[in-house]
Structures are given as structure tokens and as C-alpha cells.
Amino acid sequence: MGQGMSKSNNVYKDAYNRCLRLLDETRSLPSEPELGTLLGVSRTTVRSILARMEETGLIAWNKRAKTVLRDPRPDDFFPEEETDTLAEIIERSFMRRLLAGGAEAGMQINELELAREIGVGTTSVREFLIRFSRFGLIEKRRNSHWVLKGFTRAFALELTEIREMFELRSAAAFAALPQDSPVWADLDRLEDEHRLLAREIATRFNAFSELDERFHRLIHRASHNRFIVDFYDVIAMIFHYHYQWNKAQERERNEVAVGEHLAYIEALKSRDLGKVDAACRKHLKSARQTLLTSIPLQKS
Amino acid sequence: MGQGMSKSNNVYKDAYNRCLRLLDETRSLPSEPELGTLLGVSRTTVRSILARMEETGLIAWNKRAKTVLRDPRPDDFFPEEETDTLAEIIERSFMRRLLAGGAEAGMQINELELAREIGVGTTSVREFLIRFSRFGLIEKRRNSHWVLKGFTRAFALELTEIREMFELRSAAAFAALPQDSPVWADLDRLEDEHRLLAREIATRFNAFSELDERFHRLIHRASHNRFIVDFYDVIAMIFHYHYQWNKAQERERNEVAVGEHLAYIEALKSRDLGKVDAACRKHLKSARQTLLTSIPLQKS
DNA sequence: CTAATGTCTTTTATCGTGAAAAAACAGTTT
DNA sequence: AAACTGTTTTTTCACGATAAAAGACATTAG
């Protein structure tokens, strides 16, 4: 596909799509700097977006006046796959390979081959592997190839050991937070979302994964420790792919987890360290179990 | 200096220097594959080394026969600075800047500027920053610049919090290792080195830093957890630069630390978990104190 | 017939380059 | 004069290219 391209304009395309959705709500767009902060891009990109919107007759643009002329149609949007970052594309391909089986521990990883297969430059693949290495699934041999350590039972155990250590500590810190801390309001909101999901679990069980991440990140943040907070990236990555992959009894598993979360939230609100510890331990134990059962059995 | 160079041959130069030292000990060199494993390089590099050694009259080389003709002279060696990896060069420059003061938290990091200043390509700087980011001192703004989080008191506290959690757990795991585990022999050897250093502390106090790292890595390895083992890289990096930087009362500090290590080793050998915990805590506490006092006072 | 050497191929490390995006600067409008 | 738009400069991102280094294959010595 994109051979020879120096750099894809996915930032522009993604922001353009998001800006289209904004169009539905107003009759005229705000100033360029304001749009920039709203979309999280620079004014340069905002101006490219506005230029195209004028071209396709979506808006009339003259200096400060940006009047909406018509509602966006489905074909105004850029295709979803063109809005992904290279990093996302590479990660997806890599994880697909890794989980598609046949990815034995100890196997060599070839930068050039990966790059060719995905259709991107080697630099991007290298940078991805370096970033990815902190997840502990791959390792670099000094001035030589990368080695796959594998998504093994040992990996899951090491991961959960740290997770439990960190989360117990964070949960205790959370419970000790003063009553006027804004986190309690965040927790209330999350509790509501959990109750809602519990009621509609039969149909919306796949909405859990996203809620799960937000809940645990909130707790970890209470540690006020960057290493603990950052470590949740490892967990989030693993769970992200794990959820996509292991669909067995997903509804039941998620239903149980929602219940555990609610008990956990209750404990936090009680601010009773003993209760918090117990509820946290219980949830982490079943989370570990879920992860472990989903790991393919090793050869040796 | 090295503009336009695609890749420096530091692997070759470093291996060449190490091979020269080997020359002192024997009258003839082993086979090419054997030399390769000995020096940790490929046979291609070994052959380049042998070729040069023949050229400079150090050896006579004919197929299997590699006879040493003369002892290496100082000018046979490549200069030290030519044997460093690009990554090492970049890290050193970056850390010098960071510790030279004037590096306020929140400051932007400019890839291009760094690359120009060090005299290397941007790709290498980017890769360095990605690798370095796991140390928690810098952070990337999505499709924009890096931000320096700074070597602050908060950083030191967060770092030591994790360190203490991990080391207490590793020490307990260490003490629980079976008597026939090879680590006990390693520990004995380290104990001897500590005793030796304690006796010669007046002159050899700067040898402590290296011994310190080996000792703590041995303990962390007992955790059998890659995340714990890998985390020691963060500590090692910080202490490496910290030792170079804060020379105040270095002798006294190291003398105390050696004593604490010996008590710690004693406790481990007793395999009494209570004693281990106490000795570990005591040492970690003074290590934290040392680190904290060496951090420059912040503005706000 | 094993383990070395000799030769050829592939991969990694690094750079320069150019488009995308950000950021800085200059000029306008209210 | 504050906040905007118009223009220019800088920086980031990603690529292809090339030397260094690794690795694979073929040949030969013991």
C-alpha cells in the first residue's frame, strides 16, 4: 500500500473526522486556536482541515467566519484504517503474529522481515520494538536480533505478582485520601457506571474491558508513583489483547468481575483498610485466574 | 567529528582491544569460532581483528596457525573513546546536560538540537530517548516534543519506594533458596570481596559502586521476576551518575555501606527472615538518605 | 566425519532526506 | 491591546540507502 510515502497524514485525517462530528452540533466553528486545543492538534493541521471542509462545501470560510453549510455525509469521513498511527498498525500486526500461535518462546525476531511484511520502514519497526520491550515479552541480544520470550505462564505469574503488590499499595493509599479529594467523586461516577453495566450485562458485557481499565487506573493513580502508574500500561496492553483473544465465558467472567469491582468500591468508600485489602485481594486473585486459564499450555 | 559516517566500527575496535590483552597470555590464538565466543562477536569481526593483527606484525596468521610474534605496545590499542557505542555517547552527553544544572523540570527536549550538539543522526537520538523514557525522567507529548520531568526529590522518593518493595521481597526469596543453590557460593564470593574492600577502604573506596551493583543484582535475581530484575536497571543508572556526581563524603558513605552489606549478607546466610528483613531495611534506609541528600533543592 | 577456514548473503545500525505537523513570528481585526 | 488570521521556520516522523556486523553456506584440513 503506502510504499515510498515519507509520512502519512493520519493526524490530519483523524482530526478531520473528529471535527466532522463536531459539525453536527453547531452552526459555526470556533477560532483556529480553540479548535486546535479541542482536537489536540496544531493550528497548521486545523487550517488544513478547514481548507478541505471549505473545498467539499461543508463550510464557508472567510477569516473568522466559519459557517456550517450542510451536515456531513458518511462519505465525507476518511476511512477508519487511514486514521491509525504507524505505531498502532505495527503493534496490531505484531500482536496478531504473536497470538496466532506458532510463536514459540526463544524464537528470533527479524526487524527487516517484520518491516517488509507490514509494509513499513525498518526504523519504525525498530522504534516499536524498543518501546515494546518494556512489556517484558521480548529482549534484545547485544548488536544482534531480538528474542521472543513468549506469552507464557511464567510471564503471567510475574506480571500478576507485581500487579498485586502495586495495587494493594495503591488501594491502601486511595482509602487514606482525604474526604475532599476529587477522586471520591470519580469513584462515585465509576460506581454508577458499574451498576448500570451490571443491570445490562447480558447485552453490554463487552463494555467491561474499557471500564475495567479506567477503574484500575484511578486506583493506581492514588499511589502518586510514576513507576506504579506506568506499570499499568503493561497490564492494560496484555488485557487488551487477552480480551480480544479469549472469548470463552466472557459474559460470565465479566459479570463476576463487575460484582467484585462493586464490592471493592464499597470497601474503598468504607475507608477500612482491612476491608479494602480483602476486597482487592479477592478481585486480583480471580483476575489472575482468568489470565492464567487463557494461556496456552507450553511444550516443555 | 564523524559526519556522514554510516556506522562506526566500535564493535570491532573494542573487541580488538580486548583481544590484544588476550595476546599477553598465550603464544598462539584459538580457532576463529572460539575467539568469537570469547570476545562476544561474530566470526566476521574476529577475522577483521586477525587481519589487522597480521598487518601490524603482532601475529603470523596462516589458516589455523595464529602465532604471536610480539607483545602488544600501548599504541597498538585503539583509543578508548572510539570503542564506545553510539548509545553510550548519547547517554553520556544527555546526562551531562541534565546534571550540569539549568535543566529545569518541565523543560522541552529537542531531538534535532540534541542530535546536532552531539554530532549524530536524529534517529539514534530518538531511539535513545525511547529507551531512556522507561527511567521515568522524561515523557513524550503525543506527536510533539519530549518533556523533562527532572531529577527531583519526588523522583527519588518514587524510585526508592519501588526499590524497597522489590528488594525486601527479593531478599526474602533469596533467604528461602535451598542450600544447594549456586547463589550461596556467589554470595560467599561477594562476601570475601566486601571484606577485602573493607580492609582497603581508605584507598579503594571508589571500587564500591561496582561491587554494590553486583551485590544487589544477585539478590534481585532471586525474585525470578523479570520486572523486578529489569527495574534494577533504573536504580543502576541513577546510582551510576549519582556516584560520578556527588563526591561529598564518598569514602565515609561507602565505608558505612560496606558494613551494612556485610550485616545484610550475614542475615541472608542465617536464613532467618526476621533478620533479613531488618538488615535489608536498614541498608535501604541509608541508601535512600544518601540519594536524597544529593538532590539539588527545587525552586517551588 | 567433525570442526575448522573461506566465501557469500542477510540483518542491524546509522545517516541524510523530505513530507507532515508543530511552533514561532508578523500582520490584522475588533 | 488582546485575540485572531496569515506566513515562515523548525521539528518530528518515516523512508531508502549504505557500511558494519552477524549469520549461512561451501569448502577443506585433520
Whether residue A237 is predicted with pLDDT greater than 90 in this model: the reply is: yes
Q: Please answer yes or no on whether A231 and B227 come within 8 Å at the CB atom.
A: yes
Give kind and range of the element (H or E) at residue B140.
strand B138-140
d(CA A142, CA B10): 13
Q: B208 CB contacts (<8 Å, ≥6 apart)? A: B197, B254, B257, B258
| DSSP conformational letter for A104 | -
pLDDT classification of B2: cutoffs 50, 70, 90: very low
Q: Does residue B126 approach strand C to less than 7 Å at its CB?
A: no
E strand intervals along chain A: 59-62, 65-68, 108-109, 138-140, 146-148
∠ CA A89-B225-A163, nearest 5°, is 65
Average pLDDT over residues A252-262: 96
Residue A102 has pLDDT above 80, yes or no: no
Task: For residue B264, give the nearest of B230, B216, B231, B217 by alpha carbon.
Answer: B216
Note whether A227 contacts B158, CB cutoff 8 Å. yes
**Beta pairing partners, A60:** A67
Any residues with CB less than 8 A from the CB of A42 and at least 6 apart, and which? A36
Calculate mean pLDDT across residues A82-107: 92
Q: Which residue of B has its CA nearest to A223?
A: B158
Q: Report the C-alpha gap between B134 and A278 in whole angstroms.
A: 32
Mean pLDDT over residues A76-103, rounded? 93
User: Which secondary structure element, helix H or strand E, spans residue A67, and what is its range?
Assistant: strand A65-68
Mean pLDDT throughout B183-190? 98
Q: Are strands A108-109 and B108-109 parallel, antiparallel or unpaired?
A: unpaired
User: Which residues pair with residue A62 across a beta bridge?
Assistant: A65
Q: Tell me the mean pLDDT in the region A249-269.
A: 96
Average pLDDT over residues B168-173: 98
- In sequence order, the 6+-apart residues with CB closer than 8 A to the CB of B127 are A126, A127, A130, B87
Instruction: Identify residues of B whose CB sits under 8 angstroms from chain A CBs.
Output: 11, 40, 123, 126-127, 130-131, 134, 136, 142-143, 149, 155, 158-159, 161-162, 165, 169, 224-228, 230-231, 234
Give domain limits for chain A.
10-81, 86-148, 153-293
What cell does B226 get?
Answer: 523479570
Encode pLDDT of B12-37 as tens digits: 999 999 999 999 989 999 999 999 99
Average pLDDT over residues B45-52: 98
Chain B closest CA to A44's CA: distance in Å? 13
pLDDT at B164 over 60: yes
Q: Count other C-beta atoms under 10 Å from residue A226's C-beta.
A: 18
**Of how many residues is chain A composed?**
300
Q: pLDDT at position A4, please? A: 64
Residues constituting chain B: 300
pTM beyond cutoff 0.85: yes
How distant, in Å, are the alpha carbons of B13, B33, B59 from that of B45? 9, 11, 17
What is the amino acid identity at position B2? G
**C-alpha distance from residue B21 to each of A24, B11, B43, B73 (Å):** 74, 16, 19, 10
pLDDT at A232 over 90: yes
CB A287 within 8 A of CB A160: yes
Largest CA distance in chain A: 69
Residues above pLDDT 70, as percent of chain A: 97
Question: What per-residue confidence (pLDDT) applies to A1?
Answer: 46
Residue A134's alpha-carbon distances to A36, A230, A235, B228, in angstroms, are 32, 10, 12, 12
Q: 3-state DSSP call for residue A300?
A: coil
Cross-strand pairs, B139: B147
**Residue A169 near residue A284, CB atoms below 8 Å:** no
Query: Among the residues of chain B, which ranges form H helices?
Result: 10-23, 32-39, 43-55, 86-99, 111-118, 122-132, 153-175, 183-199, 201-204, 208-221, 226-245, 250-270, 273-293
pLDDT of residue A6: 83
Check the CA dihedral A222-A225-A229-A231 and report its sign: negative
Find the Å distance, CA of residue B266 to C1' of nucleotide D14: 55
pLDDT at B92 over 70: yes
Q: Do A259 and A198 touch, CB atoms closer than 8 A?
A: yes
Looking at every residue in chain B, the average pLDDT score rounds to: 94
Of B130, B143, B149, the CB nearest to A127: B130
| B261 contacts B283 by C-beta, under 8 angstroms | yes
User: Do the first three CATH levels of B10-81 and B86-148 match, i.e. the same topology?
Assistant: yes
pLDDT tens, position by position, A22-70? 999 899 999 999 999 999 999 999 999 999 999 999 999 999 999 999 9
Round the average pLDDT of chain A to a whole number and report it. 94
Q: Which amino acid is at A234?
A: V
Angle, alpha carbons A73-A74-A79 (nearest 5°): 135
**A86-148 placed in CATH 3.40.309.10:** no
**Stretch A137-148: mean pLDDT:** 96
**Other C-beta atoms lying within 10 Å of the C-beta of residue A298:** 11
Written as nine digits, the cell of A285 is: 486473585
Average pLDDT over residues A107-127: 97
Q: What is the CATH number of domain B153-293?
A: 1.20.120.530
Q: Give the residue numbers in A contacting B (CB under 8 Å), as ranges.
A: 11, 40, 123, 126-127, 130-131, 134, 136, 142-143, 149, 155, 158-159, 161-162, 165, 169, 224-228, 230-231, 234
CA B11 to chain centre: 18
How far off is chain A from B69, nearest CA to CA, in Å? 32
Closest chain A residue to B157 measured between Cα atoms?
A: A225
* Contact criterion met (CB below 8 Å) for A17 and A77: yes
Q: State the nearest Cα–Cα gap between B47 and chain A, in angstroms.
A: 17
Judge: domain B10-81, CATH 1.10.10.10: yes
| Residue B9 near residue B45 (C-beta atoms within 8 A) | no
Instruction: For B219, list phi and psi in degrees, rounded to 5.
Output: -65, -45
Residue with cell 470556533: A30
CA angle B206, B212, B217 (to 5 degrees): 150
For helices A226-245 and A153-175, angle between their N-to-C axes, nearest 10 degrees: 130
Is the backbone of residue A62 left (phi > 0), alpha (psi -120 to 50) or beta? beta
pLDDT score of B269:
98
Range with the lowest mean pLDDT among A38-42, A97-101, B60-64, B223-227? Answer: A97-101
pLDDT at A299 over 70: no
Burial zone of A73 (CB within 10 Å; 0-12 exposed, 13-18 middle, 19+ buried): exposed
Residue-level pLDDT at B1: 45
Chain pair A-B, CB pairs under 8 angstroms:
52
Q: pLDDT tens across B220-237, in order?
A: 999 999 999 999 999 999
Q: What is the C-alpha to C-alpha distance for residues B114 and B107, in angstroms, rounded to an integer?
A: 14
C-alpha count within 13 angstroms, C-beta hemisphere, residue B42: 8
